Amino acid sequence: MTDTFAPEAEQPPSRRWLGLFLLLVPLLIAGLVFWWGFNRSQPHQFSGSVIQGLSAAPDFTLSSDRGPVSLSDYAGKVVMIYFGYTFCPDVCPTTLADAAAAVDSLSEDDAEDVQLIFVTIDPARDTADRIGEYVRHFDDRFVGLTGTEEEIGSVATLYGIYYRAGEGSEATGYLMEHTATLLVIDQAGNLKIVIPFGVEADAIASDLEYMLR
Amino acid sequence: MRSTWVWSMAVLALLAAACGSGADIEVADVWGRPSPSVATNGAFYMVITNNTEVADHLVAASSPACAAAELHESMMNDGVMGMAQVGPAGIEIPANGQTTLEVGGLHVMCIDKQAEFVAGERFDVTLEFENAGTVEVQAEIKES
Ligand SMILES: [Cu+2]
């Protein structure tokens, strides 16, 4: 009886480890493949509210320091639109910095298919030169637009953006209150997601990447 | 009995000395975001700790980097983002507590920047507290 067990008992420890290894490797691979497939089958979780159905983003034309710019100039790209003002020290630069970091983290090909448009809601202070230089500080691919009070008002209305001048101090003058969401238009030209203030760069990047798939 | 009391007080005092620097008000992580020169204003953020048994208030701030500085709060009302000066009482730092000035909330608003807000730059900021008096800190300009 003891003879039958002898070969195994005498098997060198290295061979026993090899056997265990050969058993574990396929299991590990199977696990990885399953996990990968499972992840891919999960729906993407957008960082903002998703607009259901088709909602064509209305075209508009405003002024930049490099001439007139229309939304339709960027047809086929994922376009982020943000309404803000350069006088704003907190919320607007934070959103622009996060959007810039998001675009920066994309592959070069993906980044080329993304455009950020910053529309000022304070045209009295934000000239085309000022808004242009302001947005290019965050990313030189970004575009900053201004116009007359009426032009800005009608574009904001088209996109459901509210703003008004609020009281400030002697030092600040008036301060603007505004809807501080990042609107994202997909490559087919439909308004797709509304990202609230405070969403960080990596979450914005993952939305952009998903929309470019 | 009496000596036990003396000993426990001594131990408590030692513990207190070991736990904090002992300053009534401690200010940490003072920073501001880099911004282009065409951006008129900036903001400073920080964490303020009150090591005393009574609430204190940050009532004013100033910096050579700003023509004027105000205490502000950004806030969301019905989905609309606004920003306003805090009330005359200033920003409360609760007794033995902490108040954080952070993005999208309380901040020292730096009005009419007098210097380039470039990453790596440091600016002196003077904070005025109701009880603790003047506290000098340095703000670092960095991405976040
Ligand atoms: Cu402010």
Question: Of B56, B75, B73, which is closest to residue B127 (Cα–Cα)?
Answer: B56
Q: What is the pLDDT of residue B17?
A: 46
Q: What is the pLDDT of residue A10?
A: 56
The reply to whether residue A197 touches residue B77, judged by beta carbons under 8 angstroms, is no
The reply to whether residue B104 touches residue A197, judged by beta carbons under 8 angstroms, is yes
Give the whole-angstrom CA distance, residue B83 versus residue A166: 9
Q: Is the pLDDT of residue B24 over 70?
A: yes
- Is the Cα torsion angle A135, A137, A138, A139 positive or negative in sign? positive
- This model of the complex carries an ipTM of 0.82
pLDDT one-digit tens code per residue, B113-131:
999 999 999 999 999 999 9
Q: Can you list the pairs that A38-46 forms with residues at least 24 positions away whose Cβ atoms lie under 8 Å?
A: A44/A206, A44/A207, A44/A210, A46/A193, A46/A207, A46/A210
Q: Does B41 touch chain A (CB under 8 A)?
A: yes
Phi/psi of residue A204, each to 5°? -65, -45
Residue A134, classed as helix, strand or coil, is helix
Q: Does A85 touch chain B (CB under 8 A)?
A: no
Q: What is the pLDDT of residue A27?
A: 76
Q: What is the pLDDT of residue A53?
A: 83
